[in-house]
């Protein structure tokens, strides 16, 4: 496939190492500082990638919007002064990617590789995907009121357990600023929710599974953005749509939630059929768990909650009956403390349900996957805007 590469600078700045790198990739870069010439080139070439650097004659964001509206086929990479970097604004103006003016060679190479991947992906947009939409998908939100409670490890292994039962499973990393779900599978995703929002959101030619990491276990992962600041471009509606799209393709959709609550994550809880709340037999964790449950009760979401007691050690901590009394909830499942097993799995990037399925912890999670029956989606009791309003009042 032919890709046409263009570089525009309103100050006629030399593209530097960019031209040399593209030349090594057997691409040629056309450089110009004349807007009329650029327009002519973009009209004639339908598979174009444009590096746009403008901060003297033109405002780079305004020019990006003009080009993206006039030529929606163009993949625009903004090159902006370091003090003007604004990912959310760039996305709103139609940019496909953004580079700081002081970009490193590695950042430049990654931007080029991502542009190539996108163009190759788009060239196959006429493919027909024969998957039939799922009708009874289950959405399970996995929460933990405190970091270090084992929430992400639990989510990864529960996903594997469902997959072993023949379910088609997706995991959405909803910790969109610092999520590391892919690491638990020893994978470095080429595409994340960030690329899905930029390239595919609102477009019928793209399915969300094309932006998911496909693990050999059969689990698909919609990973968190590659850089923390990219989370600003992801909205509540984006995440809501991602869950809806995943439900069409997968039997089980697991949402790995962060330890805090926000409007975006409240929407995830509303969409979930069940909320799996991890806690530990530790007074500080129990106290926060109780507050978390009280908040969910205020939002009329407590009925969805199933409390999972993680890292439980016999003869340590409170009696289970006392724990139930404090949080005013039954304990749905108890997972034993297996620190070495869990730590080793994280270090190797191989979930312990795969590497050590006979371990007591693995057996408990496999049993839990059987207990969590996939049911028809119940009628949502609370609308998102109502939940948000109650959430603001309660805080």
The domain made up of 138-394 has a fold known as: Rossmann fold (3.40.50)
**3-state class percentages of the chain: helix first, strand second, coil last, to nearest 5:** 45, 15, 35
Helix axes of 360-371 and 339-348: crossing angle, nearest 10 degrees: 80
Residue 288: exposure state from Cβ atoms within 10 A (0-12, 13-18, ≥19): middle
Say how far apart CA 131 and CA 245 lie, in whole Å: 13
Tens-digit pLDDT string for the chain (395 aa): 689 999 999 888 888 899 999 988 889 999 998 888 899 889 888 789 999 998 778 888 889 988 888 888 888 999 988 888 777 677 778 888 888 888 999 889 988 988 887 787 666 644 444 455 566 789 999 998 887 888 999 999 999 999 888 889 999 999 988 889 999 998 888 889 998 988 888 887 788 999 999 988 889 999 998 888 878 888 889 999 999 999 999 999 999 998 888 888 888 999 999 999 999 988 889 999 999 999 999 989 999 999 999 888 877 778 888 889 999 999 999 998 877 888 888 788 788 888 888 888 999 999 999 888 644 344 444 444 555 555 544 44
CATH, range 4-123: 3.40.50.2300
Structural domain boundaries in the chain: 4-123, 138-394
Q: Are 312 and 348 in contact (CB under 8 A)?
A: no
Residues 6+ apart with CB under 8 A from 56: 10, 11
Q: Given this chain, do its domains 4-123 and 138-394 carry the same CATH topology?
A: yes
Phi-psi sector, 271: left (phi>0), alpha (psi -120 to 50), beta: alpha
Residue pair 8/50 in contact (Cβ under 8 Å)? The answer is yes
Q: Report if pTM > 0.75.
A: no
């Amino acid at each position: 496939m032919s890709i046409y590469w263009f570089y525009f600078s309103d100050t006629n700045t030399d593209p530097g190492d960019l031209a040399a790198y593209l030349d090594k990739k057997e691409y040629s870069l056309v450089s110009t500082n004349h807007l009329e010439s650029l327009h002519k080139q973009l009209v004639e070439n339908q598979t174009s990638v444009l590096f746009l650097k403008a901060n003297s004659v033109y405002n780079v964001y305004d020019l990006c919007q003009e080009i993206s509206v006039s030529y929606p086929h163009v993949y625009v990479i903004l090159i902006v002064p370091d003090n003007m970097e604004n990912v959310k604004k760039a996305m709103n103006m139609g940019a496909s990617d953004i580079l700081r003016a002081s970009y490193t060679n590695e950042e430049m190479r990654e931007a080029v590789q991502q542009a190539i991947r996108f163009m190759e992906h788009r060239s196959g947009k006429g493919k027909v995907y024969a998957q039939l939409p799922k009708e009874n998908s289950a959405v399970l939100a996995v929460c933990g009121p405190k970091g270090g409670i084992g929430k992400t490890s639990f989510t990864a292994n529960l996903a594997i357990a469902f997959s072993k039962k023949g379910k088609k499973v997706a995991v959405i990393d909803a910790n969109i600023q610092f999520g590391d779900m892919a690491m638990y599978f020893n994978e470095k995703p080429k595409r994340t929710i960030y690329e899905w929002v930029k390239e595919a959101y609102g477009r019928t030619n793209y399915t969300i599974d094309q932006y998911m990491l496909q693990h050999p276990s059969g689990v698909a992962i919609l990973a968190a953005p590659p850089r923390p600041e990219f989370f600003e471009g992801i909205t509540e509606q984006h995440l809501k749509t991602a869950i809806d799209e995943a439900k069409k393709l997968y039997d089980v959709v697991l949402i790995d939630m962060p330890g805090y609550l926000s409007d975006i994550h409240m929407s995830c809880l509303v969409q979930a059929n069940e909320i799996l709340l991890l806690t530990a037999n530790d007074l500080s964790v129990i106290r926060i768990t109780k507050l978390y449950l009280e908040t969910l009760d205020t939002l009329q979401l407590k009925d969805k909650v199933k409390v999972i007691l993680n890292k439980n050690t016999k003869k340590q901590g409170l009696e289970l009956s006392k724990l139930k009394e404090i949080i005013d909830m039954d304990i749905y499942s108890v997972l034993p403390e297996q620190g070495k097993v869990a730590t080793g799995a994280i270090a190797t990037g191989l979930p312990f349900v795969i590497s050590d399925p006979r371990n007591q912890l693995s057996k408990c999670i496999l049993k839990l996957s059987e207990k969590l029956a996939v049911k028809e989606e119940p009628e949502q009791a609370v609308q998102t805007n109502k939940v948000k309003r109650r959430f603001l009042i309660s805080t």
